[in-house]
Structure 1
């Protein structure tokens, strides 16, 4: 009997892992829109409250996704210490993805806060112009020890992910020591346990997991994504099995969140199940993969960073005008909700076109690519494929 070939780890562009980012960012928007929407139209409470209280798990899935994608693109580069020039180019490539638009949004927000104070108004969560602002600029607002989310609150997650990048030369070699499927599965379980065990003692409250002590959450989920990639790299057939039932895997992940919430447990306890969505999609099979690989989904993935960064400042600023006093009653309240949503999308598009994309190109031109790394992170090479694909589908080759 001939031995069956071992399955290979996924390589190249994985469109569905780009497309899913847009929908995850949309859920984050719904989470942050929820209190304003319920205030405008109390009848929407049944729809928005579940997202408000339990939708935060999509950020954990973002961390898993990031760990998986970074591993797929840089596993060989960081199998051993690559040297400071290569590491610097890696960090520069990651910064080019989000830092220019982050600085642009932050600058606009500072100007808006100062302007509103000049006319006797106050945009919520403005923060101070010293320590809080410095933590935002230096991407350390998500490293813990804060008393509240200030300025652009969602940046805490990008800051925590940045911390994972800074120690990647240590993390990836450790994960690559998991050289058997059993070891990789155990590594995934241990990685998922890091935040779950830590917060069992510290508390799963929103303050602890976002600004008080968010790094266990980020490092655990990021490492879980790295371990899932390693599971494929060592030839396990588990990812292939998951890929054959991607739709049910997604349904079970949602069900795990619902069950945890209905039993009164923190939704983050569903992380070990939710994380399995990533390797399932990486197999590029099934209806869910095809849906997330459509042109619309891929464009949503491209705009996801901009949407993630602009929506909270926009909602906070717009709430000075769009509120129950100026938009009274259900009919006007619905108009107010639609204005908040439409404004977030328009600003995300502007931020992408005016700041994010031009800044990415400029930053990449400043340095040559690292010898063993992709010219750009995998999820950032989709735009040209989208524009070139006449049927809305993209090539999956690297």
Structure 2
């Protein structure tokens, strides 16, 4: 019997929190203790986190706008909803960084901020910072991912058309989607001399959109692949192993995307089987779901918050070393800021832009 499909998957919301906090802690080490904490071997596996985000986005958006929706897909409405999702906190992050750059110039440290160019700022405002614009990647450098994801939004009608065309052949669609990522990765290596995982602000749009398409294909496969609780758990473990191992050993992004697809698909299936098995994933716990709601704020604000914190400490003559205690303290401050930003800015602005009091996707 076909399993009912929930409107949302709590485990995927909890996964968003884990990915966002992992990214924040990684960047904290990479920015301020590159030769120490930032160089730990386990950090090599961190490459997987961004690509799993892209897969997750493609999976969830396909669930909302293709599998669950009974209305005809309306691209302008879709795009407005996505802008409402990304833009308010993106502008807040840029405003914080602009304030830090301005302060640097006012106190005679303009040389330290010389890479923060006006062209780069404009590119970020227009969400084209992952299109290869010079200097764009300096401004809130993790923000290249939302530029790449926005490019995927522009292609989303084509993704949905593929989903409909391959509804009865989901494995073929997933195979083609992964093959597309592999092909683009080979192109990067042959033409640009770098792997896709090394592509962020410089043509990261191709990475983001193609990996998002893998998430779309995963949702099409999920439509007919009714896993029981045990098989779903095995799929989660297999997906996590493939994604993390591929990232750790610097294998192709295609394998990371495949692992992410299995991980996301398995977690979604576990949520469906929870009433039957009585066992959740842990990621579906109420606290994790709540923290997952803060995940975008954590992700987009972590660099500005960490920079502001460290710059303030420097002005006070109290540089902060990176160790387990300071990591916990700074991460806790980040989560407090993210919670405030989520409830006071992100949610109200999203509802205002969308023009309706609807629950955010």
TM-score (normalised: structure 1): 0.77
For 2:197 and 2:239, the matched residues in 1 are separated by 25
RMSD: 3.1
- Pick closer, same or farther for the CA change 1:75–1:259 going to 2, 3 Å: closer
1:154 aligned partner? 142
1:395 aligned partner? none
Is residue 335 of structure 2 the alignment partner of residue 345 of structure 1?
yes
2:86 aligned partner? 98
- Pick closer, same or farther for the CA change 1:144–1:175 going to 2, 3 Å: farther
2:162 aligned partner? 174
Do the aligned partners of 1:101 and 1:351 also contact (CA within 8 Å) in 2?
yes
Q: How does 1:271-350 map to 2 (within 5 A)?
A: 271-283=257-269, 284=271, 285=273, 289-320=280-311, 326-327=318-319, 333-350=323-340
Say which is worse superposed, 115-124 or 297-306, in terms of deviation: 115-124
Please state how far the C-alpha of 1:316 moved relative to its aligned partner. 2.7
The SS at the match of 1:276 is helix
For 2:95 and 2:279, the matched residues in 1 are separated by 39
Cα deviations by residue, 1:2-47 (Å, 9 ceiling, x for unpaired): xxx4x3573412211112111110111122112245359x3x467x
For 2:87 and 2:290, the matched residues in 1 are separated by 20
Do the aligned partners of 2:185 and 2:252 also contact (CA within 8 Å) in 1?
no
1:121 aligned partner? 109
2:25 aligned partner? 30
2:216 aligned partner? 226
Cα deviations by residue, 1:47-76 (Å, 9 ceiling, x for unpaired): x4422x331211111111111111111116
1:59 aligned partner? 50
TM-score (normalised: structure 2): 0.84
Unaligned runs of 5+ in 1: 369-374, 381-398
Do the aligned partners of 1:75 and 1:172 also contact (CA within 8 Å) in 2?
yes
For 1:62 and 1:315, the matched residues in 2 are separated by 22
The SS at the match of 1:291 is coil
For 1:367 and 1:322, the matched residues in 2 are separated by 42
Do the aligned partners of 1:327 and 1:333 also contact (CA within 8 Å) in 2?
no
Do the aligned partners of 1:193 and 1:220 also contact (CA within 8 Å) in 2?
no
Cα deviations by residue, 1:72-118 (Å, 9 ceiling, x for unpaired): 11116999975xxx322221112222211111221122122111211
Aligned length: 349
Cα deviations by residue, 1:326-347 (Å, 9 ceiling, x for unpaired): 4487xx8554434432332222
Cα deviations by residue, 1:333-380 (Å, 9 ceiling, x for unpaired): 55443443233222212211221122123223x259xxxxxx545xx3
- Pick closer, same or farther for the CA change 1:152–1:13 going to 2, 3 Å: same
Q: Which has the higher helix share?
A: 2
Do the aligned partners of 1:113 and 1:126 also contact (CA within 8 Å) in 2?
no
Is residue 60 of structure 2 the alignment partner of residue 69 of structure 1?
yes
Q: How does 1:205-284 map to 2 (within 5 A)?
A: 205=195, 208-233=198-223, 235-237=224-226, 240-241=227-228, 243-260=229-246, 263=249, 265-266=251-252, 269-283=255-269, 284=271
The SS at the match of 1:350 is helix
- Pick closer, same or farther for the CA change 1:33–1:253 going to 2, 3 Å: farther
- Pick closer, same or farther for the CA change 1:188–1:79 going to 2, 3 Å: farther
- Pick closer, same or farther for the CA change 1:262–1:225 going to 2, 3 Å: closer
Unaligned runs of 5+ in 2: none
Please state how far the C-alpha of 1:155 moved relative to its aligned partner. 1.4
- Pick closer, same or farther for the CA change 1:312–1:205 going to 2, 3 Å: farther
For 2:41 and 2:313, the matched residues in 1 are separated by 20
For 1:351 and 1:24, the matched residues in 2 are separated by 19
